Structure 1
Amino acid sequence: MREAVRLSLILMVICAITGAALAVTYAQTRPIIEEREAQALERSLQELLPAADRFEPQGEGEEENKVYYRGYKGQEEVGAVALFTQGGYGGDIRMMLGVEQSGKITGLQILEHSETPGLGARITEDWFVSQFAGRNVNDQLAIGQDLDAITGATISSRSVAGGVKLIAGEINNEFLGAGRPGIDISRVPNGTYQGEAQGFGGKTRVEVEVKDGRLVEVRIVENHDTAGISDAAIERIPQRMVEEQRVEVDTVSGATFSSQGIIEAVINALQEFAAPAEGGGGADLSSLPDGTYTGSGMGFSGPLEVEVTVAGGKITEIKVLSHSDSPGVSDAAIAKIPERIIEEQQVEVDVVTGASFTSRGIIEAVGDALAGAQ
């Protein structure tokens, strides 16, 4: 008995000494670790936004898994970098995304992950992450369409792409002055409208019914997201829209991609009645140098490209060089939107009824072309 007590006391003393030693070691090494982490963060910020000579954190501490850094060159804003976490197949994926002030994605870094070795862990490979560089924040970034998936790791691939799409949109809205188009339901004529957008597993298509200036029903008519995970969003997002009589509602926790896909699809359904985004503005045509500029936007079925000619501070010609929208449906927009822009000498013109997706795509592409001219 005495021997057991003696051994216990010895063990307690050893534990106390070890604990004290560890505490001293931690206290001594903590500043070094923090300094190295700060240096690593600064390197990543500079790599993702090399045009910036300093960075200022925005909203630090407001959201647990997300911090934005606004980049400056002198006093000029040159873009933003986001440090964020997205759920993957094996756990959280920690990433950093850089975006220039023009909306161009400069690069993506995967910092930490718990994906399956040999499969999902390949999200760190150069060929995969390099697909995002050079894209625009308005691109769909859809796996299988815009981006290649990792063979045998579709969920990991979509998790990264979906996280980048969400964060790119937030950077665009919060720091690049884009904002979302506002939709006043009370001004939408009676009718049933269709729209589609990218969800987690593919295309999400909705039907939106409006009567007497009120949102009556939102129906999900096509969805390819994972059953069980997306169910809550499919049920609650339409309910929230009808209850709150607005499109921009809170997403469902645990089903963010599905929620955003439904919201985007409803916005697209009612796009023709959207007011220009607050602060969206337009290019000062009188200050643009003479020349021919190209730009791209997203139509109903995919990207479209335009060529814009500026002379004497005026837009003199707009050509739609390529598109994949349906002939017959898109023809009116392709003919009328360039005419309206030239007649009104402004980019934000009324869309063509029945061809709102193509209309908005042309408007977006012209804005993109003129942004490159400034």
Structure 2
Amino acid sequence: MNKTIRLIITLALVAALATGLLSVVNNITLPIIEEGNAQRLQEALSDVVDADRFDPIYHEEDEELVLYYEAYKGEELAGYAVEVNAKGYGTQPIKMLVGMNEELQITGVKVLGHSETPGLGDQAFTNSYLEQFLGLGFDDPIAAGEDVDIISGATSSTMGVISGVNGALNVIARELGLITTIDFALVPDGTYEGTGRGFGGNIDVRITIAGGELTEIEVLNHSESPGYSDPAFANLPDRIIEEQSIEVDAVSGATATSMGIMDAVRNAVSEFFGGDQEEPLEPVVLSEVANGRYRGEGEGFKSQIVVEVVVIDGVITELEVISHDDSADYASIGINRIKERLVDSNTLDVDTTTTATFTSKGVLAAVENALRGEPIIDLSAIPNGSYTGTAEGFMGPITVEVTVQDGVITDINYVSMADETPEYASTAKKAMTEKLVGSESLDVDTSTGATFTSKGIVDAIKNALAGQ
């Protein structure tokens, strides 16, 4: 009995000693392990984005969960890095790190862990395969078989990588407000058709909105592989309708098809920009734009872009970017490229694809918005002289001759107002002469009791001085 007790005590002491030693070893090694992990993560981040500092941005619902990293080179934002888990063929997710520049173009992809089949599925993780993603970006969704190859016998692994890269781009795009949340409750009742990119090609859908809810998703056409895509077509539409949201989980094993269906539904209601319906704008036809200098704004990558553009005889002769806060290096490339394509052109239908596509699109939007407005008249820049112009009044055309001396309007001669009612014409002439003669600006109030005629006089003067 005594031997048994001694044995129990001895074993308990040994166990306690072993536990204590393990605790000591753990306390010693844990910081070393954590430091090693941090160093490996830093190296991986540097592999996917050329930067020297990475600031973690935490998920708003969990302050310990990193959503993505902002990458800085010195004090300048160089891009972003996102950790994502993608579904492949293996039992464990494909853990990836995806880097991109400020224009959301891929700068690097690194696979951190996976359980794909060695020698088969892991072919999608080689440097030569991952390099296909470099330069691809958010503004042109990455398509399997077109932008990147599909590895024969490793389709699930391939699609997992593609899905992971697209998912990382979407994380940053949402954070930057480039993906609009669709609220079906704000979309007018009716049927809408849209197209999204699946695994084998375009997926066309028709959706029905009734009573402020998405009630039906009908797949009209697709080129997806039978068998593999069937679960997505069978389950995803119901999932979207049930959740009343496009942001649902993809169907396992049919990720690309799932993403294509979701993109098609989004495309079907994209005209409403999340519910606020906007009337489509008429395209700008340069041959119909009056000669002159115009100023307008457009949305760049992360700021408003302000431009001044000069049109003479239906051709853009000058284009100057007045202000923006987009990244200096990338913005200058986008600005210079789009200027090359627009200046001396008689159309706004130009390619905006550059290494700074969002900035280029912002410049083009600013030019279009400028030319939808009225020309800028800077009287101080008008050479001394008399100029004649015509504009529409209340009842017909109004023609005036305006004299400018040293940046000041010194005289207005009303050449023709034959169609205007004499009483209103007299009131407008008297009021506009008092407000404009001696003025250094055309920015005057036309509310005179003969508003339409007064506005016609001002427009005629602007047309006379435009382009001078």
TM-score by length of 2: 0.55
Deviation at 1:82, TM superposition (A): 0.7
Aligned amino acid, residue 281 of structure 1: E
Aligned amino acid, residue 108 of structure 1: V
2:341 maps to 1:308: yes
The alignment's C-alpha RMSD in Å is: 4.2
- Any residues of structure 2 matched to 1:128-277 within 5 Å, and which? 128-174=129-175, 176-180=176-180, 186=186, 188=188, 190=190, 192-199=191-198, 203-210=202-209, 215-221=214-220, 222=222, 226-228=229-231, 231-241=234-244, 248-252=245-249, 257=255, 260-274=259-273
Q: Determine the structure 1 residue equivalent to 2:89.
A: 89
Structure 1 contact 86–94 (Cα < 8 Å) conserved: yes
Cα distance in structure 1, aligned partners of 2:109 and 2:368 = 41
Which of 345, 348, 353 is equivalent to 1:318?
348
Cα distance in structure 2, aligned partners of 1:27 and 1:322 = 56
Deviation at 1:21, TM superposition (A): 3.1
CA deviations 1:21-43 (Å, max 9, x no partner) are 33322221110011111111112
Cα distance in structure 1, aligned partners of 2:371 and 2:42 = 41
Cα distance in structure 2, aligned partners of 1:21 and 1:145 = 58
* Greater Rg over alpha carbons, structure: 2
Structure 1 contact 183–270 (Cα < 8 Å) conserved: no
CA deviations 1:282-302 (Å, max 9, x no partner) are 43334538986269xxxxxxx
Deviation at 1:344, TM superposition (A): 3.6
Aligned amino acid, residue 195 of structure 1: G
Cα distance in structure 2, aligned partners of 1:343 and 1:316 = 13
Deviates more, 1:122-131 or 1:3-12: 3-12
Q: Determine the structure 2 residue equivalent to 1:50.
A: 50
Using a 3 Å threshold, how does the CA distance of structure 1 residues 178 and 317 change in structure 2: closer, same or farther?
A: same
Deviates more, 1:134-143 or 1:160-169: 134-143
Q: How many percent identity over aligned positions?
A: 31
2:80 maps to 1:80: yes
Deviation at 1:173, TM superposition (A): 2.3
Cα distance in structure 2, aligned partners of 1:173 and 1:264 = 14
Structure 2 contact 48–108 (Cα < 8 Å) conserved: yes
Cα distance in structure 2, aligned partners of 1:161 and 1:310 = 38
Cα distance in structure 1, aligned partners of 2:337 and 2:43 = 35
Cα distance in structure 2, aligned partners of 1:47 and 1:346 = 44
Using a 3 Å threshold, how does the CA distance of structure 1 residues 271 and 21 change in structure 2: closer, same or farther?
A: same
Q: Determine the structure 2 residue equivalent to 1:98.
A: 99
Q: Determine the structure 1 residue equivalent to 2:337.
A: 293
* Aligned-partner SS, 2:133: coil
Cα distance in structure 2, aligned partners of 1:259 and 1:124 = 23
Using a 3 Å threshold, how does the CA distance of structure 1 residues 103 and 10 change in structure 2: closer, same or farther?
A: same
* Aligned-partner SS, 2:132: coil
Cα distance in structure 2, aligned partners of 1:130 and 1:41 = 20
CA deviations 1:287-329 (Å, max 9, x no partner) are 538986269xxxxxxxxxxx83247xxx864355699xxxxxx
Cα distance in structure 1, aligned partners of 2:76 and 2:342 = 28
Higher relative contact order (CA 8 A, sep 6+): 1
Q: Determine the structure 2 residue equivalent to 1:71.
A: 71
Deviation at 1:217, TM superposition (A): 2.5
TM-score by length of 1: 0.67
Deviation at 1:207, TM superposition (A): 0.7
Structure 2 contact 138–169 (Cα < 8 Å) conserved: yes
CA deviations 1:108-161 (Å, max 9, x no partner) are 010111100111122221111111111112322122121102221000100110
Aligned amino acid, residue 337 of structure 2: Y
* Aligned-partner SS, 2:173: helix
Deviates more, 1:123-132 or 1:66-75: 66-75
Cα distance in structure 1, aligned partners of 2:148 and 2:31 = 41
Cα distance in structure 1, aligned partners of 2:10 and 2:149 = 61
Cα distance in structure 2, aligned partners of 1:106 and 1:346 = 36
Structure 2 gaps, min length 5 = 278-297, 309-319, 322-331, 354-363, 373-468
Deviates more, 1:216-225 or 1:131-140: 216-225
Question: How many residues are treated as equivalent by the alignment?
Answer: 308
Cα distance in structure 1, aligned partners of 2:89 and 2:64 = 20
Q: Determine the structure 1 residue equivalent to 2:36.
A: 36
Q: Determine the structure 1 residue equivalent to 2:383.
A: none
Structure 2 contact 184–214 (Cα < 8 Å) conserved: no
Using a 3 Å threshold, how does the CA distance of structure 1 residues 136 and 343 change in structure 2: closer, same or farther?
A: closer
Aligned amino acid, residue 40 of structure 1: R
Structure 1 gaps, min length 5 = 242-247, 296-306, 324-338, 348-374
Cα distance in structure 1, aligned partners of 2:155 and 2:117 = 12
